[in-house]
A and B are shown apart, each in its own frame.
Chain A
């Protein structure tokens, strides 16, 4: 038995990989110049009046809200305030959220923290699309809300809501861990008002 020790041919050309990536980025930049609507119609809806469905809804929503698992997609400085929130002082584990999944397929929540550039935008869109329903997005920090300090730059997306729909906005530069916990409680309020047995509008 001999191993094939000859030099391998050039299978992966980095120039072709770079070129396809560049075309993808230009495509995203062209398509996503206007803001996506915030999914906040839940604030005006009424509560469920059907007795059986209401209690089933309450049970499902309570179990979903008590164990929201985030994806760790930290981009820049605000990521360190998120890691501080997950550490032992501002414990996020008391809300059931200490498991940060590296894979988006096993997660419910995408916390976008840090500046989003056009080069990173297709990757963020891909992470969002890989998550399974029901999924939520929190935009943390002023760079994620509107571009922040770097809004006039040639390479920065002016706000994450141009690429993916956002549920909760948390302002600050960076927001304190207590502010992030308050934003997460607002998200729990939203989850508890969901109706699970009606036809849902696709995202």
Chain B
């Protein structure tokens, strides 16, 4: 049976390794600062006992004043999971580091978020629109999109 890990203990381990990165942790969700995404991802993948080697899905939500990017992580060996969230406050030019170096399955999903929300992922090998065509104006899944 998949165990949903308590975020508080994982947040303590993260804080010990990378001081200053967590903002809050409740239930099975940890919210971290956007500068620390790549380092936190590498730490969670490589630490023995955590071993989050499988990225289940990666998506984003628009909460009108900020964007929230959600990483759902699973460990196939130990059968436990964790949710990692990042909040982006800059609505004009949102930017985040890409995790394709850590989990290659994030490739198409980050392109989808760029296409539909407009969030720029730095370090992505091939960031361009995937579902809509080149020249489409606007980002459809934002709440203020008018067609």
Contact B140 A22, beta carbon cutoff 8 Å: no
Contact B140 A154, beta carbon cutoff 8 Å: yes
Interface code A118-156, partner B: CB below 8 Å = 1, 0 otherwise? 110000000000000000000000000000000000110
The size bracket of the interface on A is: 10 to 19
The size bracket of the interface on B is: 10 to 19
CB-CB contacts below 8 Å: A19-62 with B: 19, 21-23, 25-26
A15: nearest residue on chain B (CB-CB)? B128
Contact A25 B135, beta carbon cutoff 8 Å: yes
Shortest Cβ distance from residue B123 to the other chain A in the assembled complex, whole angstroms? 19
- Please report the number of residue pairs spanning A and B whose Cβ atoms sit closer than 8 angstroms: 27
Residues of B within 8 A of A26 (CB): 133, 135
B135: nearest residue on chain A (CB-CB)? A22
The verdict on A10 contacting chain B, using a C-beta distance below 8 Å, is: no
Expressed in whole angstroms, the Cα–Cα distance for A22 and B134 within the complex equals 5
Contact B133 A22, beta carbon cutoff 8 Å: yes
Residues of B within 8 A of A21 (CB): 133-134
Q: Find B132's partner among A15, A19, A23, A155 (CB 8 Å cutoff).
A: A155
Shortest Cβ distance from residue A6 to the other chain B in the assembled complex, whole angstroms? 24
Residues of B within 8 A of A15 (CB): 128
Q: Give residues in A with beta carbon < 8 Å to B.
A: 15, 18-19, 21-23, 25-26, 118-119, 154-155
Q: Give residues in B with beta carbon < 8 Å to A.
A: 128-129, 131-136, 140, 145, 147
Interchain residue pairs with CB less than 8 A apart (21): A18-B133, A18-B134, A19-B134, A19-B135, A22-B133, A22-B134, A22-B135, A22-B136, A23-B135, A25-B133, A25-B135, A26-B133, A26-B135, A118-B133, A119-B132, A119-B133, A154-B140, A154-B145, A154-B147, A155-B131, A155-B132
